[in-house]
Amino acid sequence: MVEKKQEIKALAAEERFLTGENFYSQHFLGAHKLTNGNFVFRVWAPNAQQVWLVGDFNDWEDTIPLVKRESGIWEVKTAKPHEGDLYKFKIRQANGREIFKIDPFAIRFEKRPGSAAVLHTLQEKKWKDGLWQGRKKRTNYFKRPLNIYEVHASSWKHHEDNTPYTFSDLTKELIPYVKEMGYTHIEFMPLMEHPLGKSWGYQLVGYFALSSYYGTPEEFQDFVEACHKENIGVLVDWVPGHFCINEDTLPYYDGTPTFEYEDLDRARNIRWGSINFDLGKPQVQSFLISSALFWLEFYHLDGIRVDAVSNMLYRDYDEGPWTPNHEGGNRNFEGYYFLQKLNAVVKLAHPEVLMIAEESSSDTKITGMIESGALGFDYKWNMGWMNDVLRFYEMDPIYRRHNFNLLTFSFMYMMSENYILPLSHDEVVHGKKSLMHKMWGDRYKQFSQLRNLYTYMITHPGKKLLFMGSEWGQFLEWKYDHGLEWVDLNDDMNHSMQHFTKTLNELYRTEKALWELEGSYDTIEIIDADNNEETILSFIRRGKTKKDFIIVVLNLTPVERKDFVVGVPYKGTYKEILNTEMKEFGGTWVKSNDVKESIAVPFKDYPYQIQTIVPALGALLIKPAEVNTRGRSSSKSKKAKAEN
């Protein structure tokens, strides 16, 4: 009777997997311990001629054959292997070739360069992060600060013998550091199993397995729990678009296109030397959505950043030949509908989870309601802002006045999506230089501009992301196989830069004007974005109340501006709350600007103005001290009344 119920349950799971509706397919496929202590192994290989279970328990010989079910899923129940044994599947493919393949649903792998799965039973954890989970469900994350510290887990810090930290080590050191620095979330580059460290985790083989390079699943669970106890969220990058080309992994699993497209041009990914998933295939949808939910639920993650979304949306995104769709265009409809389905499933189960897209085009609405035609993501990386702004800050200030639009163009589209402003790992590798090294001028000017850049990022509408090491201005490019240059902090300039970043992060968290009305144009007023000659940008960020606003002034030239005019909305006094050129941050100023009294002289759209000193390559943040908010009228409205 028990066996019959188990078989009925298996048939239901099998059917849902085949139709793309089994979002917990890892509970059916892969390796599972039975109540009698034996194990059942199942693998999807519909066109294989035969499949065997092999491992160190049978000297890797084909002595344990699997039986093919009608669905194309192969199955065997056996007492032979034990917990901790290594295993693979030996597959006689459709053309008769025999090859060893990994278990696509394995939850543990041996340490690279080995690629065998480890027979491992995951235990149910008794989580102690209930306060965090409850608060997260009650919080509107669109109207809260989101400041992400991006981390590559194995190169944040190394031991003295140059071995990387595991998650047990990171629990002791990374969490206190992130809390001290004032970030709200940690985002890890992919943690799933991958055979080549040089890929940074973006060419996966194990979609359900934490890389053994980083420790055990239980250690990562403990890390996430410890983060939540310190009010730090955890996000992880995930790669559902393409996978590793190594032939003992997923490619052409049964000798025919299984996980990949049948069309060779659509299957191969020339740009990254990988293979694209066939996102229209129901079984692949079951596989990938199951992977996403597994990571979110088993590890209590607070969100997922989906990598390389453009590659899933457009047939012509890659290099090489491409075939138009049935409408004659470049839209990859399979990818488009898969991403909508992914977000719909995740949000139905976990509405509080953050779904983030790394996407570089503007042809598709990425964030927003699926019913409106959008993909349903919560946030999109603003790659355009990142590219334009970094080009601007690399530029000799002589030319900046002719390219001021690079700094200001994002104001034209900043509300078209829900954006995260990323200064990510992609910008500090492959000869692009570190963020600090990109800045124009000598070392002092480079640090001045780095402080200016971070101030612009923190005050510009959108959530924030900064790659590790950038917070103190590491000069060397990031190296995936080395720890960060922590020795830099022995230098006064780097130490002061780290202190500045911490101060800026704290200001971001405490000043509601920087995030309370985000997503609405009410959050920002442009004071002057046309000052090309002096190359100074000024704008206001607003909170819900009239008196809650911050004036931002950015000087993008190495010329100090005395008696600089800034338009203000109300009569009263204004105080400086941040000056990036203070000595404590690495600058030369020992005293802030005095409190400024408004002058009843209009400036652009504002009825009043203040005059202040703006330091060379510096940024100022100014708040109202005592102002009268009644009866504000702009200079334009006064002029209109006078003409009438």
Q: What is the per-residue pLDDT across 303-356, written as a single tens digit (0 to 9) for each?
A: 999 999 999 999 999 998 999 999 999 999 999 999 999 999 999 999 999 999
Closest CA to 470 of 491, 490, 447, 492: 447
Spell out where 64-191 has E strands: 64-65, 67-68, 73-78, 86-92, 98-101, 117-118, 147-151, 185-188
Which residue reads 């949306």 in tokens?
313
Spell out where 28-184 has E strands: 30-33, 39-44, 50-55, 64-65, 67-68, 73-78, 86-92, 98-101, 117-118, 147-151
509-522 pLDDT, tens per residue? 999 999 999 989 99
Task: Look up the CATH superfamily of 2-118.
Answer: Immunoglobulins (2.60.40.10)
Confidence of residue 411 (pLDDT cuts 50, 70, 90): very high
Residue 505 pLDDT > 50? yes
Peptide bond into 113 cis (omega under 30): yes
Average pLDDT (613-641) is 77
Distance (Å, whole) CA 381 – CA 423: 10
Confidence band of 121 (pLDDT split at 50, 70, 90): very high
Task: Give the pLDDT score at 636.
Answer: 45
Q: What is the pLDDT at residue 8?
A: 79
- Cα distance between residue 173 and residue 182, in whole Å: 15
The Cα angle at residue 498 between residues 463 and 580, in degrees rounded to 5: 75
- Is-contact 317 370, C-beta < 8 A? no
Confidence band, pLDDT 50/70/90 cuts, at residue 11? confident
Residue 637: pLDDT over 70: no
Per-residue confidence (pLDDT) for residue 644, from 0 to 100: 34
Region 125-143: mean pLDDT is: 94
**pLDDT of residue 1 exceeding 60:** no
Domains 2-118 and 525-643 equal at CATH topology level: yes
* pLDDT over threshold 80, residue 598: yes
The 3-state DSSP composition of the chain as helix, strand, coil percent (nearest 5) reads 30, 25, 45
Share of the chain above pLDDT 70, in %: 97
DSSP H or E stretch at residue 528:
strand 524-528
Asked whether the beta carbons of 77 and 101 are under 8 A apart, the reply is no
Q: Does the pLDDT at position 638 exceed 50?
A: no
Q: What is the pLDDT of residue 2?
A: 55
Fold assignment, 525-643: Immunoglobulin-like (2.60.40)
Asked if residue 275 has pLDDT above 60, the reply is yes
| Residue 640 pLDDT | 39
pLDDT band at 631 (very low <50, low <70, confident <90, very high): low
Three-state DSSP at 506 gives helix
Alpha carbons 134 and 117: distance in angstroms, whole number:
36
Cα 41–chain centre separation? 34
Average pLDDT of the chain to the nearest whole number: 95
Residues with active-site annotation: 307, 358
Looking at residues 516-540, what average pLDDT do you find? 96
pLDDT at 288 (0 to 100): 98
The per-residue pLDDT for 560 is 97
Confidence band, pLDDT 50/70/90 cuts, at residue 635: very low
Please state which of the ranges 318-322, 441-445, 505-509 shows the lowest mean pLDDT: 318-322
* For residue 639, pLDDT beyond 60: no
Backbone angles phi, psi at 279, to 5 degrees: -75, -5
What is the predicted pLDDT for the residue at 630?
A: 85
Task: Round to whole Å and give the CA distance between 316 and 284.
Answer: 22
Q: How confident is the model at residue 4 (pLDDT cuts 50, 70, 90)?
A: low
First to last CA, the chain: 90
Residue 641 scores a pLDDT above 50:
no
What residue spans define the domains of the chain? 2-118, 525-643
552 within 8 A of 538, measured Cβ to Cβ: yes
